[in-house]
Structure 1
Amino acid sequence: MDNILNAIKECAKEISQMLKYCDFGYSNTINKTGDTQLKLDVLSDEIISKKLSKLDNIKALISEEKDEILNLNENAKFIVAYDPLDGSSLVDVNFSVGSIFGIYDSKISPKNLVASLYFVYGPRLEMVFCLDKPYLFRLDENSEFIKIKELKLTQKGKINATGGSQWEWSDTHKSLIQNLFNEKYRLRYSGAMVADLHQILLKGGGLFSYPSTTNAPNGKLRVVFEILPFAYIFEKAGGFTSDGFLDTLFNLEISSIHQTSPCFFGSKFEIQKVRKFYLGEINESN
């Protein structure tokens, strides 16, 4: 797996440089989930696909920007699923964005996810990589990723990052969010999943949520290359995950590579609260 990790690191360095000077406009294509692709999305996907396709231990690639699986080496071991540029619509306002990768052993299944990593393209290029434990790395002046620290979540945080349009939330989700504000949680939401989850991990706790909405009843975020890679990192950091009902996102069943789901990531206290609201054990806003 070392060669996969090293190749992904090189992809991230190239994407980081590309973001500084590239055309921020839209392309003429739409991806599988209905999003009009930015030129940045397409270029980022091309960078990753070109480099990883050269590795003989990668069985297939799955990308948010590809409609189908890109099969490479039938007898190889690993499948790499990725979102090449999460939050790309925020590049024009110079917000932090990122890339997300999940590495699966032999087939796409929650139980077969064996490693995950993501990059944050901000003032500094940072990487979080997780096999058994999640570690933060930072690119130094010699273009090397230096290990900074292990990431651990506390039992309770104070950050509330919730996605989706408020007028499309269910009454349950509205009550949950109001309850968090009543408990003096701070709203911290940029619209880039990578940046928002990275903040919760580095600050030690809180809640990120992207619920079911009237416009997206099955949620908006993609299970294979967004939700599960982050769930792997959060749970290895001592956190918890849910879709509102399940006790872990790893109990989701995958039926398609572009499948979406509501998702919640956070500390133990917040995820317990989420499930109590969604399971009907709490139905008040205070």
Structure 2
Amino acid sequence: MKSLVLAGAALAGSANAFLPGLRPLHLRAQRSLSPPSQDASVSSTALEMADTAYGASHTSFYTSAKAKDSYESLADVLNSKVADPDVRTVINEMLDAAVKITEALRVNLVTVADAQNSVFGDVQLGVDVIADNLMWETAKNSKVVRQAASEEEPVLVDTNPDGRFTVCWDPLDGSSIVDNNWAVGTMIGIWDKTTGMLGATGRDQVTSIVVLYGPRTTALVACDDGVYEFTCGEGNKWFASREKIQIKPTSKIFSPANLRAAQDLEGYDGLIKHWMNNRYTLRYTGGLVPDVYQCFTKEMGVFSNPTSPKAPAKLRVAFEVAPFGLLVEKAGGSTSDGVTGKSVLDIQIDGVDQRTSACMGSKDEVSRFNEMVLGK
């Protein structure tokens, strides 16, 4: 299939059933009703008058993505942007599992699981268990997955002696916010058997994937030449909705996690005040996936999660920080381990449950974090 062509005939199934981000032909025609670009100064003046009259501020950052007539399919992109056929296979398998998780989230209530099997003491929900089981089913049935580990289990499990990859995942990040019906996600790190995961670093990953479940299901994938976003569309078919994403070095969006640490760390308290005093836009949900994912959709942002003795590290290197770190740096962003100021991709993974502090996103903001919080 050369490309996923989206035209009026392909959208005939339902009057409202069209792929996210693409208007049907009869709506696209309405673009001519938009104000011409030369009137931008008038619009700006009108907004300023409204601000003065109502005390409103226009600090939101909306998408810059524009609808196209056609989008490349997942297969087309992987065939041209991922040289290794085994890596293409494992990416496809993981995204197939994400489709199943998407369907499970839509039909299952958010309730506490009957059996609590998390060795880390986290409260497991029924949807956590379902998502984890779907990931394990995929890993165990794969011909290319050699070993696997879930955030819910602290050990590597041999799945196929003839396989090639070690796959580690957080099946459903955001358990504390999923009952609000907020966005949650799956994070996946993939290492070759030549390095394995234990003793390796995040830089050794052959690819990583982060899936976001919200009004739409989208996925960030580390390809050979950069980061691509895929959207799960009609018929659960993936298509490329963003290509070679670049995170800008500067940002006006901040996402500060572990605010308790600001009571102990003068530098973190000062950094948060800097963002507020300089009128940055706060975008924080408490879910790692949506809070970092926005750096790719907005093409800027910073997520910070330092630690202190009274607010220890919670982020897991193998399941969360390494997969996201690879994507952020491939997209031109920067990361910090929150201790030395070096990249999170240089952290040697010595334990499945190894934790770390972290900061990632726009380069200038990560540098500011290193300077103000770490004194680097």
The alignment's TM-score, normalised by the length of structure 1, stands at: 0.93
Letter in 2 for 1:17: E
* 1:16 maps to 2:102: yes
Residue 284 of structure 1 corresponds to none
Which structure 1 residue ranges, 5 or more long, are not aligned? 282-286
Residue 154 of structure 1 corresponds to 248
Residues 197 and 279 of structure 1: is their aligned pair in 2 closer, same or farther, counting only changes over 3 Å?
closer
Report if the CA contact (8 A) 1:189-1:196 is conserved: yes
Report if the CA contact (8 A) 2:337-2:344 is conserved: yes
Higher strand share: 1
Report if the CA contact (8 A) 1:190-1:196 is conserved: yes
Q: Structure 1 residue 135: deviation in Å? A: 0.5
* Structure 1 segment 126-275 matched on structure 2, within 5 A: 126-132=218-224, 133-150=226-243, 151-166=245-260, 169-217=264-312, 219-244=313-338, 245-275=340-370
Residue 123 of structure 2 corresponds to 36
Letter in 2 for 1:13: V
Letter in 2 for 1:3: T
Secondary structure, in 3 states, of the residue corresponding to 2:254?
strand
Report if the CA contact (8 A) 1:91-1:97 is conserved: yes
Which structure 2 residue ranges, 5 or more long, are not aligned? 1-86
Q: Structure 1 residue 198: deviation in Å? A: 1.1
Letter in 1 for 2:270: S
Runs of 4+ in 1 over 4 A off after TM superposition: none
Match of 2:168 among 81, 88, 110: 81
Report if the CA contact (8 A) 1:222-1:260 is conserved: yes
* Structure 1 segment 65-104 matched on structure 2, within 5 A: 65-104=152-191
Match of 1:64 among 151, 160, 164: 151
- Is 164-173 or 263-272 further displaced after alignment? 164-173
Query: What value does the CA root-mean-square deviation take over the aligned residues?
Result: 1.6
The alignment's TM-score, normalised by the length of structure 2, stands at: 0.71
Figure out how many residues of one structure are paired with residues of the other and give that number: 280
Q: Following the alignment from structure 1 to structure 2, what is the Cα–Cα distance between the partners of residues 259 and 216?
A: 16
Letter in 2 for 1:158: K
Say which one has the larger Rg. Answer: 2
Q: Following the alignment from structure 2 to structure 1, what is the Cα–Cα distance between the partners of residues 344 and 165?
A: 21
Report if the CA contact (8 A) 2:139-2:159 is conserved: no
Q: Following the alignment from structure 1 to structure 2, what is the Cα–Cα distance between the partners of residues 235 and 266?
A: 8
Higher helix share: 2
Residues 169 and 17 of structure 1: is their aligned pair in 2 closer, same or farther, counting only changes over 3 Å?
farther
Report if the CA contact (8 A) 1:32-1:258 is conserved: no
Letter in 2 for 1:183: N
Q: Following the alignment from structure 1 to structure 2, what is the Cα–Cα distance between the partners of residues 278 and 170?
A: 7
Report if the CA contact (8 A) 1:243-1:249 is conserved: yes
